[in-house]
Structure 1
Amino acid sequence: MIAMKLFASKLPQALWLLLLQLWLIPGLSGCSSAPPEPPEGFELNWQGQTVPGEVFLIPTAPQSLAYRLEAIDQATEFIDITYFTWNHDVSGIYVYHALLQAAQRGVKVRVLLDDLLVFNDRWLKDLDQHPNMDIRIFNPFDVRHTGWFTRAFNFQFRKKALNHRMHQKYFNVDGELLIIGGRNIGDDYFGLSDSANFFDLDLLVRGESLRQFEANFELFWRHEESVPVDQVLSGEPSEQQSLFLEDFQEMKDEHPDVVRAIAEVRAALPEPDYISALVTPAFDDMEKFEDSLPYFRRRIEQFLLTYPTQHKELLISTPYMIPNGDEFTATQAFLENGADVILLTNSAASNDSGFVAAYYDKYRKPLLEMGVDIYEYDSEAVHPPYLHQATTYYHNKAFVIDDWLSYIGSSNFDPRSDHLNFEMGMMIESQEFAEALSEYLLLSQLDNFWHVTLDEEGNPQWEKGQVIEHTNPRTAPIRALPAWFYRLFNIQHDI
């Protein structure tokens, strides 16, 4: 049982970033826009398709990149990919280059990218010219130049449509191997960034559940908002991907330490040790585009309502702990049953969203008073497999119930995930896997968390080793000012 085992930048720059973030958030006309109320009986008839499968939790961030590259190199028929972000760094170009090589030997490659962080990317134009590579942009903005300034205005005029983003992470090779989880593509997701990294997770999946994931991919791939990249980006591609290949060589020359680390991990990559389990995929509905209703969340809840658990232990892992109107209903139900409830989330210092950190500050003490056992991730966490020990953010999206039923997926189960983003995930029935996931998230990482409890006066305190703090660890007192400013707008349902 788990319970038993157990402001730095220049001011003008910071102000500009703050104003830009505020401009990009809907509902800032004075109060929060409450999410739409689902109709009576919403999704009560949804039934997941539970099938046998094999799952493997990838042990380290560098190995997550290595397994992707190995899978691409072994592909013979097709590769289908969906991601929210894909960075312009060593990892990003390495995966693109591997895909180009696969296309050159006849593999059909399809890539669907959300448009939030895509501007006028010449890599995409170059790669899309290959006859075996097809790249599409999901829900594209109308502007591509001058960066965030004009895009922010575009967002405000079309926010009802543009606020819906593709947040799914999907990597399917030949219909034989699937990678899902919370990671996007970039050095910071694979422990290779020298400035900041994410502590995240990925799952290898084999078996008939891949047919369900493929059907979901086809729905989004053929949707009218999935637009061919040559209709979105301006400019002409280079001949035979010459600009892309030139960038690839320059990136390798400029970052020999990262190139060497990638090669070393691949050379020592073990065969996956799969665990047999019953698995139930779940996906958002395309109707979310029109009605912004929480299809994915309700489908997971419906599965849990009909699943025979004892409700004795709940481990929740989310980077963004923001209640969604119903406050702590689900957590309270476990606690009333006498369950041990453990929450893993970001500390104020490790949170990559100032808005979320500000609102979570309001809920920490009520959660502790309810009896939730809270562990907050340390921004100076150490992960030996990472190439660089830099500032680290917590990004795992998972839960474990009664050491048997697990969830892994893209959803943070926050207001944005519920009502605006398109999400996917998988329920996994296996004691062996549940224990492996609990070990990965917490039991092997205790030194990387602050344990938060109530002191003698009933106020939160943070303990890590011999250190005890009575305010948010590793944060400057000035942080209280922007946190107060964020809360002033009452926008927790829109972040």
Structure 2
Amino acid sequence: MSPCAPGRWLLALALAALLAGCSLPPLEGRSESRALSAAEARETPLGRAVGDLAAPRPGLTGVHTLEDPREAFAARVQMAQLAERTLDVQYYIWRDDITGHLLLEALRAAADRGVRVRLLLDDYGHAGLDAELAALDAHPDVEVRLFNPFPFRAFKPLGFITDFSRANRRMHNKSFTADNAITILGGRNVGDEYFGATDGVLFADLDVLAMGPAVAQVSSAFDAYWVSASSYPIASLVAPPPAEVLAAIRQRTALVERSEPAATYKQAVRELPCYGSLVRKDYSLVWAPAHLVVDDPSKGLALAQPEQLLLHHMAEAVGVPARSLDLVSPYFVPTDAGTDYFAGLARTGVRVRILTNSLAATDVLVVHSGYARHRQPLLAAGVALYELRPDPREQAAKAARRDEGPRMPGGSGSSGSSLHAKTFGVDMERVFVGSFNFDPRSAKLNTELGLVIDSPELAGAIAHVFEVRAPRSSWELRLDPGSGGLRWVDGSGRSVAVEPMTSWWQRAAVRLLEPLPIDWML
């Protein structure tokens, strides 16, 4: 035996012990719970207010769009404050930042009043919050579960090595439901960048607040995810924090609560009139038929059948566009099949308009590479393409605040606003608002949900984006009639042949990534 052999054996034994500790705990013994029944929901103050509003409109769902990030934050807090019986909350990302902590405290305050809180988070998107979540879970009226968790908590990326197939499938759903009476769903995660509270990338996003029949569908979907084979109680994965950690959490929470940004958000909650208006029955809503489309949670373990997927339900609910398709997607990776679909629609006379992030605005450079090579075929077929233009004033202001070095490819590609809304309108009659990106990851890997709403009014609002707002805030892409190359045209008609507001290394990185067969992961 060589002198080094004992060291190798010890290393092998240590690795074996590490991997042995990377197995998930059993699911037996999970608590059982369900959303409020329709009758129970009607007995809550929110349920009675919704019932009074919905009574003259049987079968219709009331919808209010949440574009303003401060209103979107305040709406969630007010729902937590007005809930009497239950809060069911489901998110992909929950940041360890100011708005993340404020919303955790809103959930805790609701539980202190006796509201049952169920919080289901994807385990990839809450870095640094294990102790806070475990402390929240210790509350007698709160339970926290993690979707497709990483058993080795100290270094989660190890899970991609030991169980890649499962770890690569994430829960991308976003919903916030109070008393099975009102829900918020859409594209926003929980974090400062989604609520306009950061100097970094500010995601232009869209949620809908809904009440009526669609809420029961959201609650039913939440129940299915809550009891799925991918949802693990955090108590089975994270030990309760010791007293000194709890004290540090309380101290940090107090500092966050007293901070100037927190004061701004608390003011937004106080100033938002919508829920008082709801109780007074003068709240403005669009009432329309609406239907939830959602992936079966078994998709998280690659066990869902095609008819259980959101794409199948969406095709049934939306149908084939006959006149127009207006699509807004931050991470648009159409693949060859999708490019053929959109091009085919355009060639048959359907007006197809697509708004996505430019290279200057995207926060995920590698995803832009999966879109870039499809631009010329789409334009050649008659598809209109718009790419969001970052506000140069935001970039200049941020550059003045700190001296920035060059960013590495794959990191944040923008220092200003970035598109994050996921919505589309069909034939000026129907709209979709949800978490679904038009990319292979949303279609095949991540779980998603969204609301299909039969509303010409909301479909017209999406068309307005392309007719008024997109020309002002985006570049329209065109083919150069001479060379066949791309040109980016701003609202004043000025055009350039190089991706605007980008550096040479960003463009070089995209060109290097474009030929790689990685679309299926994007």
- TM-score above 0.5, yes or no: yes
Matching residue of 2:78: 70
2:448 pairs with 1:423? yes
Decide whether the 8 Å contact of 2:373 with 2:514 is kept in 1: no
Deviation of 1:199 after TM superposition, in Å, equals 0.7
2:315 pairs with 1:301? yes
Secondary structure, counterpart of 1:481 in structure 2: helix
1:245-288 per-position Cα deviation (integer Å, ceiling 9, x unaligned): 321221244x41x2232133233324252101010111112342
2:334 pairs with 1:350? no
Matching residue of 1:366: 377
Decide whether the 8 Å contact of 2:323 with 2:349 is kept in 1: yes
2:420 pairs with 1:395? yes
Unaligned runs of 5+ in 1: 1-49
Secondary structure, counterpart of 2:374 in structure 1: helix
Matching residue of 2:137: 128
Deviation of 1:235 after TM superposition, in Å, equals 5.2
Decide whether the 8 Å contact of 1:282 with 1:426 is kept in 2: yes
Matches of 1:190 and 1:172, distance apart in 2: 18
Matches of 1:210 and 1:218, distance apart in 2: 12
Matches of 1:441 and 1:56, distance apart in 2: 20
Q: Match of 1:144, as an amino acid?
A: R
1:130-176 per-position Cα deviation (integer Å, ceiling 9, x unaligned): 1011111111112211xxxx433320221111111110001100111
2:457 pairs with 1:452? no
Matches within 5 A, 1:96-135: 96-119=104-127, 121-135=130-144
- Tell me which of 66, 86, 89 is aligned to 1:58: 66
Deviation of 1:465 after TM superposition, in Å, equals 3.4
Matching residue of 1:469: 496
Q: Match of 2:290, as an amino acid?
A: V
Q: Match of 2:302, as an amino acid?
A: E
Decide whether the 8 Å contact of 1:193 with 1:390 is kept in 2: no
Matches of 2:470 and 2:268, distance apart in 1: 21
Secondary structure, counterpart of 2:375 in structure 1: helix
Greater percentage in helix: 2
1:116-139 per-position Cα deviation (integer Å, ceiling 9, x unaligned): 133552110111111011111111
Matches within 5 A, 1:136-151: 136-145=145-154, 150-151=155-156
Decide whether the 8 Å contact of 2:67 with 2:205 is kept in 1: no
Secondary structure, counterpart of 1:114 in structure 2: strand
Matches of 2:439 and 2:230, distance apart in 1: 24
Distance change (3 Å), C-alpha of 1:199 and 1:382:
farther
Matches of 1:381 and 1:370, distance apart in 2: 32
Secondary structure, counterpart of 1:493 in structure 2: helix
2:196 pairs with 1:191? yes
2:171 pairs with 1:163? no
Matches within 5 A, 1:277-356: 277-288=288-299, 289-291=301-303, 295-305=309-319, 311-356=322-367
Matching residue of 2:45: none
Decide whether the 8 Å contact of 2:201 with 2:363 is kept in 1: no
Matches within 5 A, 1:372-387: 372-380=383-391
- Tell me which of 246, 259, 262 is aligned to 1:259: 262
Secondary structure, counterpart of 1:230 in structure 2: helix
1:356-396 per-position Cα deviation (integer Å, ceiling 9, x unaligned): 1112110111111111111101133779xxx9995121111
Aligned residues: 434
Q: Match of 1:245, as an amino acid?
A: R
Matching residue of 2:506: 479
Deviation of 1:244 after TM superposition, in Å, equals 3.2
Matches of 1:460 and 1:75, distance apart in 2: 52
With 338-347 and 479-488 compared, the bigger mean Cα shift is at 479-488
Decide whether the 8 Å contact of 1:122 with 1:237 is kept in 2: no
Matches of 1:153 and 1:94, distance apart in 2: 31
Deviation of 1:414 after TM superposition, in Å, equals 1.1
With 225-234 and 158-167 compared, the bigger mean Cα shift is at 225-234
Matches of 2:469 and 2:422, distance apart in 1: 17
Matches of 1:119 and 1:341, distance apart in 2: 39
Matches of 1:287 and 1:89, distance apart in 2: 31
Distance change (3 Å), C-alpha of 1:226 and 1:441:
farther
TM-score, normalised by the number of residues in structure 1: 0.82
Tell me: higher relative CO, structure 1 or 2? Use CA pairs within 8 A at least 6 residues apart.
1
Matching residue of 2:38: none
Decide whether the 8 Å contact of 1:182 with 1:395 is kept in 2: yes
Q: Match of 1:164, as an amino acid?
A: R
Deviation of 1:90 after TM superposition, in Å, equals 0.8
Matches within 5 A, 1:213-224: 213-224=218-229
Unaligned runs of 5+ in 2: 1-57, 275-282, 402-413
With 220-229 and 444-453 compared, the bigger mean Cα shift is at 444-453
Q: Match of 1:320, as an amino acid?
A: Y
Secondary structure, counterpart of 1:332 in structure 2: helix
Decide whether the 8 Å contact of 2:489 with 2:496 is kept in 1: yes
Q: Percent identity?
A: 29
Deviation of 1:338 after TM superposition, in Å, equals 1.2
Matches of 1:96 and 1:209, distance apart in 2: 26
Secondary structure, counterpart of 1:374 in structure 2: strand
TM-score, normalised by the number of residues in structure 2: 0.78
Decide whether the 8 Å contact of 2:256 with 2:262 is kept in 1: no
Q: Match of 1:379, as an amino acid?
A: P
Max radius of gyration: which structure? 2
Matching residue of 1:15: none
Decide whether the 8 Å contact of 1:381 with 1:392 is kept in 2: no
